[in-house]
Amino acid sequence: MPANQIHTSVYSLSVHPGSGNYRETLEAFARFMRSEMENRLGSFITHFMSFQEQHGEASGEDREVFLFEALMLGVFWNTYGGYAAGTGNNAISLMQQTAALRSRGGLKRKTAELLRGALAYRLLEKPSDRSRFLFPDPKGLARLIAWIKATGEFHREAARMETWRNFLEHMGDTYAFVTLSVFRGFARWFSHESLLVLGPFTEGVTRFVAAAANAYPLREDKISVLRSRTEYHLNMLGADIYNRAMKPMFDTCAGKIVLLPACMKLNGGKNCKSVIRHGSEVCTGCTSACSINEIRKLGKKHNFGVEIIRHSSALTAGKSFKRSGTAFVGVACAATVIAGGLELRKHAVPAQCVLLNHSGCRHWCNKPVATSLNIEELMQRLGIEADQTTVHETKCNKSEEILAA
C-alpha cells in the first residue's frame, strides 16, 4: 500500500463494540476526571486563582477551567517539551516570523506556507529531540511557549500558558519546579486513563500518524495533523469542561446561531448555492441530502439561525462572533475544538460546542467526505427537546483515503 494511503477514520464518535455511547462515556469520564483534578491539582489551582484574583482575572466559576489548563500544560510539556529543548533559538525565531506572515493572508500567506512546509517539521520536530529533557521551571516554560508559537498552530493555548508562566515566576523556581512536575505526572496518568476509556474512539489516529509522518514532507500543516491520541482525548474532555463553564452565559441569550464548518457540505460543496448575507455565509437549501440544509430546516422550525464557516478553525476569530443577545453553538473537529473554546471565552462570547462525528476535510482526507454531527446533542445544547427529524450523515467509508492532499 502506498505510503500516502491509509484506510481508516482518524477518529469516530460512532458506537464501538465494548465502548458504548460516546456521549455517555465522555460524561462519565469527565465526572471522574473533574474529581481527580480537584483532588490532585486543587491546591495549586487555589494559589493560581488567588494570584489571578489580585489582577482581576479570575472568579470562582473559572476553577474547573483552570484545572483543565493545568492538565493541558502537562500534556503539552510531555508531548512537545523535548522538541522545545532541542530546537535552536534561530529556528524558533524564523518559524515565528513565518507564522506571523501566514496569518496575514494573500501572497504573504502562500509564501509563508511554502516556507513552513519546507522547514517546520524539519526544524521544530526532529525525531532526535523527542526524548530531550526540558527543565521544569519558568525558563523552561518560556521555552515551550516560544516553540508552541513557532508552530503557528497553538497561539491561543500559548496565551493561556503565558498567564501560568507569570504566576510561576511570581511564586519562585522551587514552587514552579514542584508544580510543573506534578502537572507532568498527572498528564502522564491522564494519557493512560483516557486511552482506556476514550481510546476506542481514536483508534485510527495511530495508523493515520504512521502513514502521514513521511507521506508529505512539505505540508505546512504537518504538526497540526500529527497530533497524538492523548491530545484528541484532551480536546474531548476540554469540550465538556468549556461547555459547563460557558453554559450559564449561553442560557441567558434569547438568540441562538449554529456555526457549521464547510466540511459538512455534501460532495465537498462542489455545487453548493450558499450565499453571503450581512457578512455571513448561509445555506439556501439547494440540496435536500445535505446535512447543512437539514439543520437549516430545523433552525426554521425551532427558531435558531445557521451560518457556515470556512473551517472549524474559524472559531478562533472569536471577536467576530460577539453579537448582543446572541449565543452560538460551534461545531468543530476533535483536533481543534479547544482553540475555539479558548478564543470564545477570551471575548466573552456565549457559546457551546458540539464535536463532529469524524474528520473529513482536506487536512485528513485525500478525498474529503462530508462530516456529520449528533443531532440529539445539538438540540440539547440549544435547549430544544430532541427532534425526530433525522439528519443525513455521510460517514467515512473504510475504503476512503483519509490522508489530506
**For the chain, what is the HEC assignment?**
CCCCCCCCCCCECCCECCCECHHHHHHHHHHHHHHHHHHHHHHHHHHHHHHHHHCCCCCHHHHHHHHHHHHHHHHHHHHHHHHHHHCCHHHHHHHHHHHHHHCCCHHHHHHHHHHHHHHHHHHHCCHHHCCCCCCCCHHHHHHHHHHHHHHCCCHHHHHHHHHHHHHHHHHCHHHHHHHHHHHHHHHHHHHHHHHHHHHHHCHHHHHHHHHHCCCCCCCCCHHHHCCCHHHHHHHHHHHHHHHHHHHHHHHCCCEEEEEEEHHHCHHHHCCCCCEEECCEEECCCCCCCCHHHHHHHHHHHHCCEEEEECCHHHHHCHHHHCCCCEEEEEEECCCCHHHHHHHHHHCCCCEEEEEECECCCCCCCCCCCCCCECHHHHHHHHCCCCCCCCCCCCCCCCCCCCCCC
Predicted local confidence at residue 222, as pLDDT: 67
Query: Do the domain assignments include residue 392?
Result: no
Range of the domain at 295: 252-382
Same domain? 343 vs 256: yes
More confident residue, 59 or 145: 145
Query: Do the domain assignments include residue 75?
Result: yes
Predicted local confidence at residue 60, as pLDDT: 67
Q: In the sheet where 305-309 sits, what is the strand order?
A: 275-277, 280-282, 305-309, 255-261, 326-332, 351-355
More confident residue, 400 or 39: 39
Same domain? 52 vs 131: yes
**Cα separation, 372 vs 392, whole angstroms:** 8
Query: Do the domain assignments include residue 395?
Result: no
User: Which residues are CB-neighbours of 116 under 8 A, at least 6 positions away?
Assistant: 95, 98, 99, 102, 152, 220
Does residue 290 have a pLDDT over 60? yes
Confidence of residue 220 (pLDDT cuts 50, 70, 90): low
30 within 8 A of 237, measured Cβ to Cβ:
yes
Predicted local confidence at residue 177, as pLDDT: 98
Confidence of residue 315 (pLDDT cuts 50, 70, 90): low
Most confident of 38-47, 211-220, 362-371, 382-391: 38-47
Query: Which of 150, 357, 372, 133 is closest to 236 using CA atoms?
Result: 357
Predicted local confidence at residue 217, as pLDDT: 57
Same domain? 45 vs 167: yes
Does residue 70 have a pLDDT over 80? yes
Query: Do the domain assignments include residue 294?
Result: yes
Same domain? 60 vs 180: yes
Give the β-pairing of 255-261 and 280-282: unpaired
Same domain? 196 vs 71: yes
Query: Do the domain assignments include residue 16?
Result: no
Query: Do the domain assignments include residue 15?
Result: no
Predicted local confidence at residue 131, as pLDDT: 87
Cβ neighbours of 338 (radius 10 Å): 26
103 within 8 A of 153, measured Cβ to Cβ:
no
List the beta bridge partners of residue 332.
355
Same domain? 256 vs 373: yes
Same domain? 170 vs 271: no
pTM attached to this predicted model: 0.87
Confidence of residue 16 (pLDDT cuts 50, 70, 90): low
Same domain? 312 vs 188: no
Same domain? 52 vs 147: yes
Cβ neighbours of 113 (radius 10 Å): 19
Confidence of residue 404 (pLDDT cuts 50, 70, 90): very low
Same domain? 181 vs 278: no
Query: Do the domain assignments include residue 95?
Result: yes
Q: Over the chain, what is the mean pLDDT?
A: 83
User: Tell me, what amino acid is at 140?
Assistant: G
Query: Do the domain assignments include residue 224?
Result: no
Assign residue 364 a region (left: φ > 0; alpha: ψ between -120 and 50; beta: otherwise): alpha
| Domains in the chain, number | 2
Q: How far is CA 178 from CA 35, 182, 231, 300, in A?
A: 21, 6, 23, 54
Same domain? 257 vs 110: no
What mean pLDDT do residues 368-397 have? Answer: 72
Ranges 92-96, 158-162, 232-236, 392-396: which has the least confidence? 392-396
Confidence of residue 400 (pLDDT cuts 50, 70, 90): very low
Confidence of residue 143 (pLDDT cuts 50, 70, 90): very high
Does residue 115 have a pLDDT over 50? yes
Ranges 33-37, 67-71, 263-267: which has the least confidence? 263-267
